Amino acid sequence: MEIKIPIFTLCFFMSVRCALDSMAGDESESGVCSPEQTWVAPRERCRATRCGTRVRNNTETKSKHHEAIHTAPTPACPAAKITAPAPAQTGGWRPEHLFTLRQTRALWQQHQALIADCDVEIAALLKGFDTRAGLALTPPAPAKTTHKKARRNEPQFAAREECHRVLGVDLTAVPGFQTPTVLVLMAELGPEFAAKFPTARHFWNWLGLCPDNRITGGKIMSSSTRDVKSRAATALRLAAQALNRAQNHFGDLYRRWKARLGTPKAITAMAHKLARILWHLFKYRQPFDPEVFKKEEEKMQRKKLARLHNSAAALGLKLVPNQ
């Protein structure tokens, strides 16, 4: 496949976007008023009467809100007749506090603007890649997610559809993979990376996700993983860590490894498993099929049931299935 845009250009913009995300953090936008006004957080809940109503980020709106709830009781605000103390409504912000808040808000807005510029450049670069054969009219399957809009750190364009068009497989179907993770893997590895590794063993060894046995005199002195600086390996480790609460086979497997081996080794082991799945999907251009792991999931369920039966028998009890 001929690539019109060098892959390192996409990698550069993705690294810049990740750096801006880390600097901006997950803090939400803070509303700052003029020094003559009182600063309140945007859409802050009313704490004076605990009515749960959200208040916008200016003093006038907050004052009108309090005046309304104190003169007209509603079912949403049972404590409407209680007059809130004046300091709770006006606050005691000093000028230096307001100055710091203005500076923080300006910096946050600047980071968001830079991230939006990176999203525009990344979207333009993705359009320069060729479409996989047979995928021009085949959209990806609906995303299995609970949120309808893109979250704060997700790209604000159709990145999932573009990655599916370029890669030929929908990586977001793999447990633990979200659109930002797929973009990082695509930028770091490229659409044709599987051709460079004859087997999956070569791939995970290159990522440093396998034991590096140090043998002296026939005795293994150390089996820790190699210290590899790879953003792709870091993305796989983050995807593995995201499976901590997943209610599927991968989540159960990760929690089992975590209890037996500890968190660091469990993350590496799950990242190793995800790397094998990633190489197989790119090598054979097959969609992710969770039915492949059905036998392993059934085996794990049988082990859980046997463990419960043994625990009940030790206590002189007996498990009875629900009718």
Q: Which amino acid is at 145?
A: T
What pLDDT is recorded for position 19? 72
As a whole number of angstroms, the distance between CA 61 and CA 109 comes to 23
Q: Where are the domains of the chain?
A: 44-92
Question: For residue 155, what are the CA distances in angstroms to 105, 121, 146, 162, 220?
Answer: 21, 11, 17, 12, 46
| Per-residue b or e along 150-188, where b marks 16 or more CB atoms closer than 10 Å to that residue's CB | eeebbbebebbebbbbbbbbbbbbbbbbbbbbbbbbbbb
What pLDDT is recorded for position 208? 87
Question: For residue 146, what are the CA distances in angstroms to 117, 173, 203, 249, 251?
Answer: 27, 14, 33, 19, 18
What pLDDT is recorded for position 77? 55
3-state secondary structure at position 98: helix
Put simply, whether the predicted model's pTM sits higher than 0.85 gets the answer no
What pLDDT is recorded for position 30? 42
pLDDT tens digits in sequence order for the chain, 323 residues long: 444 445 667 676 677 677 777 766 644 444 444 434 444 444 444 444 444 444 444 444 444 444 444 444 555 555 545 455 555 555 677 888 889 989 999 999 999 899 889 888 988 888 888 887 565 556 677 776 656 666 667 888 888 888 888 888 888 889 989 888 899 998 888 888 888 899 988 898 898 888 777 778 888 777 778 888 889 999 999 999 999 998 888 998 999 999 999 999 999 999 999 999 999 988 888 888 888 888 888 888 888 899 999 999 999 988 888 87
Cβ-proximal residues to 51 (8 Å cutoff; 6+ apart), any chain: 69, 76, 77, 78, 79, 80
As a whole number of angstroms, the distance between CA 275 and CA 171 comes to 12
Q: In 3D, which of 74, 75, 87 has the Cα closest to residue 48? A: 87
Q: In 3D, which of 288, 77, 272 has the Cα closest to residue 172? A: 288
Q: What are phi and psi of 45, to 5 degrees?
A: -75, 145
